[in-house]
Amino acid sequence: MRTQLFIDGRWTDPVNKGQLDVINPATEQVIHVIPKGTAEDIELAVSAARRAFDKDGWPNTTGAQRGAYLRRIAELIRERSEMLARLEVLDNGKPLPEARWDIGDAAGCFEYYAGLAEQLDDTSVVDIAISDDRFRTRVRREAVGVVGGIIPWNYPLLMASWKVAPALAAGCTIVLKPAENTSLTALELGAIVQEAELPAGVLNIVTGLGAEAGQALVSHPQVDKLAFTGSGRIGSQIMAEAAKDIKRISLELGGKSPLIVFDDADIEGAVEWIMFGIFWNQGQVCSATSRVLVQDGVYDKLLTRLIEEAKKITLGDGLKEGVLLGPLVSKQQLDQVIAAVARAQEDGAQLVAGGHRPGEFSQGYFFQPTILTEVPLDSHAWKEEIFGPVVCVRRFTTESEALTLANDSRFGLAAAVMTQDNVRADRVSAALRAGIVWINCSQPTFTEAPWGGYKQSGIGRELGKWGLENYLETKQVTTYISRDPWGWYIK
Ligand code: ADP
């Protein structure tokens, strides 16, 4: 495990020598320490990224050259995948099979953007038709510059790859600030890019607190673009800070995503996807379908089955075989979830499953899979993201009522619809105000498909070709090609 920052292609101690404890959330033990980078380290990292961009020629490499680095990074992630997956479990708590999945996706993300980098060689300069044949206009796509990437703790290496891969593909350089409680795999990414011989300064990794290292990165005048995934509260602060010098921003924030089950849905399938949509990664998923709306005709049956299945879920240390639900990431997160469930009950919600720290563990930030019903529409539990394994289930009668309930949220990240009626599925998916709609499923995520939210769930789209756009500027280059004098001033 790494103990230093990765700046300008080298491992270095943080200027202020500070450290942060790394706690295994399943045991509450300190298992390691990581550097507590501060504004001084961000300064060094940004100047390295600036030099790599402005002087060392990274943006002038061909897409094929950048693609080759990205493919090599993907290969090294795959070679080390078991070690990376186990580190992710120790750091974040998630079950090992989920961590393995994340690491495979992270490698896939680098491979995908390698392909897009290669395509840029053919598409980064194109002629466009204009209305005056005395001129020729070309449109060039160029890298935005130095990126500040700030990522959360729920999918540590995967979120790093969602920022780093498209930024490098576009020709940007980047300073990455991982979440303070899950930085281990991001530091391993430093070792990987070093082995891949990525030029110095192209990727810099500074661990540290959000309010120190994160804030310094956000407010740094030499950073051209900020890419952030995290809470709405911090996203809003980052947007305000970015406004001071008109930095480009992309934000992927929270959600309170609805999942609508119609009477004609396959009930067993719906129960499975509801569980996946809220218990996967302990519900610490921005797109978690945390508000389940069920039509009258199947409400009782579905709720009974959901409670039965939720109670069967095996909790435990993510490294243990057969565990489906690990601990929450931190004491702070556990306390927030406990408080949210208590508040929901005070507000009149009924607790029909879970709701407590499981008695069988004397340590670890575990919380039972939890189901709430009768949750008032104006309550905190219905409106706000809980970011834990807590689902609110509510009854509805008509399609229009379901849509009104679903869209009545300041968020709009994702939504899911369970029905066997394709016409209704199309109609409802068009009417949902969300950036991602799943039909007869919840949460499948593909590197090729756009990811991001409506309303307060964010700005911009990650993944797919949309993800690359975040890191590209658009330049018009117009040439006067006529042999005739222009004749405006000089007649
Ligand atoms: P959560 O509440 O889920 O931890 P946050 O939005 O607080 O989500 O954190 C997401 C990321 O943002 C983390 O890497 C964190 O360190 C960083 N962060 C937190 N506060 C700030 C801030 N003021 N400026 C920049 N980054 C921050």
How far away, in angstroms, is 234 Cα from ligand 1 center?
6
pLDDT range class, residue 1, cuts 50, 70, 90: confident
Check whether 100 has a pLDDT greater than 90.
Answer: yes
Give residue-wise pLDDT tens across range 111-150: 999 999 999 999 999 999 999 999 999 999 999 999 999 9
Q: Average pLDDT of 37-46? A: 98
Computed on alpha carbons and rounded to an integer, the radius of gyration of the chain in Å comes to 24
Give residue-wise pLDDT tens across range 224-250: 999 999 999 999 999 999 999 999 999
SS (H, E, C) 361-429: CCCCCCCCCEEEECCCCCCHHHHCCCCCCEEEEEEECCHHHHHHHHHCCCEECEEEEECCCHHHHHHHH
Backbone angles phi, psi at 100, to 5 degrees: -60, -40
Q: Name which residue sits closest to atom 13 of ligand 1, judged by CA.
A: 179
Q: From the CA of 233, give the closest atom in ligand 1.
A: 6
Ligand 1 pocket check for 215: Cβ under 6 Å: yes
Check whether 174 has a pLDDT greater than 90.
Answer: yes
| pLDDT of res. 167 | 99
pLDDT range class, residue 491, cuts 50, 70, 90: confident
Ligand 1 pocket check for 152: Cβ under 6 Å: yes
User: Which residues are known to be catalytic?
Assistant: 252, 286
| pLDDT of res. 142 | 98
Classified as helix, coil or strand, 271 is: helix
Return the percentage of the chain with pLDDT > 70, whole number.
100
| pLDDT of res. 278 | 98
pLDDT range class, residue 185, cuts 50, 70, 90: very high
Looking up tokens 């004491």, which residue turns up? 331
Ligand 1 pocket check for 435: Cβ under 6 Å: no
Ligand 1 pocket check for 156: Cβ under 6 Å: no
* Torsion angle of C-alpha atoms 428, 431, 434, 438, degrees rounded to 10: 20
How far away, in angstroms, is 482 Cα from ligand 1 center?
55
Best mutation site among 46, 229, 234 for ligand 1 pocket (most ligand atoms within 8 Å of CB): 234
Give residue-wise pLDDT tens across range 7-18: 999 999 999 999
How far away, in angstroms, is 454 Cα from ligand 1 center?
21
Task: Tell me the pLDDT of the chain averaged across its residues.
Answer: 98
| pLDDT of res. 367 | 98
Q: Name which residue sits closest to atom 25 of ligand 1, judged by CA.
A: 214
Give residue-wise pLDDT tens across range 266-297: 999 999 999 999 999 999 999 999 999 999 99
Closest C-alpha to 208, from 38, 448, 429: 38
Residues in the chain: 491
Ligand 1 pocket check for 329: Cβ under 6 Å: no
Q: How far is CA 460 from CA 140, 296, 329, in A?
A: 21, 37, 27
Ligand 1 pocket check for 243: Cβ under 6 Å: no
Q: From the CA of 237, give the closest atom in ligand 1.
A: 23
| pLDDT of res. 297 | 98
| pLDDT of res. 262 | 98
